[in-house]
């Protein structure tokens, strides 16, 4: 890790070229926001949790952290028939329910119904230190029959709208789009993002400056995969949908194809590191000492553009390629396309067109 990197805290996220404006609710057709509500008994909910129908451990959710007394107060509320807040779930492509808001409460219910929680209610001697199986039948029935209200975000809701709903209803720490996306598309694709974001070459290429807790590192891997696997014509200006479509495709890929994608990703990172060292994926000029911030849009074109190019060819023509990339960064049209409103479809196509022209001119049309 170079000396400049140690001048700020690790994972001190600072990213350019990443359009995080999700737009207004006025963008969504009024009838497309499909959110249904269902009433389920606690007995039914617990059964579904045990069966694995509810995803209780998405990566963005906190570990179960409620203290015993708070868990006990919740069960006491149930026994006292005090109305409970609603729960929010999101349906994934496989029909599973991902917990958006209410993980702590659902985990408490499951623990109590499975006799893993002993109530800590010293002011209620009839309940204190009791497990579910210790309760009289009357109270057991009351707990099992407790009616819970679920609001379920349909899998058919447009991706950007679904993530916006996630963001609004989650009562915990604010989530990033990638954290939400990761829970909705768990499978081989999200595992790929996790593994690739931890490799030494990825950490070297990004300077270790992407916040892994917020999954910014996985988001960068997701962007590479999307622009490498999907046709550029499929991009219509909605980055959320584009990245989600990529994960859908990756979840259907076999190990051999994912292994090939990993090799391409690594080659692209190596080529960029050899060309620009710690300036890789950052706007800079020749001879510049101070390292700039990561630019997500520059990452898109450089990581994919050099992923299918021979390391030998890139090394042989490294000096000329560096000069042409510096000219590209000085090009006003390209600079605008990677800096201002970078998710705009026209700007995405502009930066790829200009970058690919440079790669063809310096490295030729051949790709590995």
Please, what is the angle between helix 177-184 and helix 159-169, to 10°? 110
- Between CA 33 and CA 12 the distance in angstroms is 36
Low-confidence ranges of the chain (pLDDT < 50): 1-9, 22-23, 25
Per-residue confidence (pLDDT) for residue 108, from 0 to 100: 94
Domain-wise residue ranges, the chain: 5-21+175-363, 34-156
Burial state string for 29-59 with b = 16 or more CB within 10 A and e = fewer than 16:
eeeebeeeeeebebbebbebbeeeebbeebe
Q: Give the global pTM.
A: 0.75
pLDDT in tens, 236-294: 999 999 999 999 999 999 999 999 999 999 999 999 999 999 999 999 999 888 999 99
pLDDT in tens, 4-52: 333 444 555 578 877 755 445 455 555 555 788 899 999 999 999 988 8
Structure tokens at 259: 């292994």
Per-residue confidence (pLDDT) for residue 6, from 0 to 100: 37
């Amino acid at each position: 890790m170079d000396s400049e990197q140690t001048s700020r805290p690790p994972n001190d996220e600072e990213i350019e070229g990443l359009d995080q404006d999700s737009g207004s609710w006025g963008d969504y057709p009024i009838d497309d926001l499909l959110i249904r509500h269902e009433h389920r008994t606690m007995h039914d909910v617990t059964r579904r949790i045990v069966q694995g129908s509810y995803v209780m451990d998405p990566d963005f959710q906190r570990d179960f952290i409620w203290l015993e007394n708070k868990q006990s107060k919740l069960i006491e509320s149930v026994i006292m028939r005090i109305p409970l807040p609603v729960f929010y779930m999101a349906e994934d492509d496989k029909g599973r329910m991902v917990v958006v808001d209410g993980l702590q409460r659902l985990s408490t219910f499951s623990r109590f119904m499975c006799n893993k929680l002993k109530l800590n209610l010293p002011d209620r001697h009839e309940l204190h230190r009791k497990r579910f199986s210790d309760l009289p039948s009357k109270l057991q029935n009351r707990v099992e029959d407790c009616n819970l209200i679920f609001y379920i975000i349909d899998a058919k809701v447009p991706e950007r709208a679904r993530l916006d709903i996630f963001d609004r209803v989650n009562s915990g720490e604010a989530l990033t789009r990638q954290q939400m996306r990761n829970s909705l598309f768990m499978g081989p694709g999200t595992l790929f993002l996790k593994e690739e974001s931890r490799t030494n070459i990825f950490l070297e290429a990004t300077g270790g400056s992407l916040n892994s807790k917020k999954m910014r590192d996985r988001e960068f891997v997701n962007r590479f995969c999307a622009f490498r696997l999907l046709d550029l014509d499929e991009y219509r200006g909605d980055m959320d949908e584009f990245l989600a479509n990529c994960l859908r495709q990756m979840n259907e890929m076999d190990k051999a194809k994912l292994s090939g994608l990993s090799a391409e990703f690594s080659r692209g990172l190596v080529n960029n590191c050899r060309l620009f060292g710690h300036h890789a994926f950052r706007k800079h000029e020749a001879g510049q000492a101070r390292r700039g911030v990561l630019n997500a849009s520059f990452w898109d074109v450089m990581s994919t553009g050099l992923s299918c190019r021979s390391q030998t060819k890139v090394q042989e023509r490294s000096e000329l390629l560096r000069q042409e990339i510096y000219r590209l960064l000085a090009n006003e049209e390209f600079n605008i396309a990677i800096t201002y409103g970078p998710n705009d479809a026209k700007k995405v196509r502009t930066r790829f067109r200009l970058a690919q022209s440079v790669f063809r001119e310096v490295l030729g049309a051949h790709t590995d």
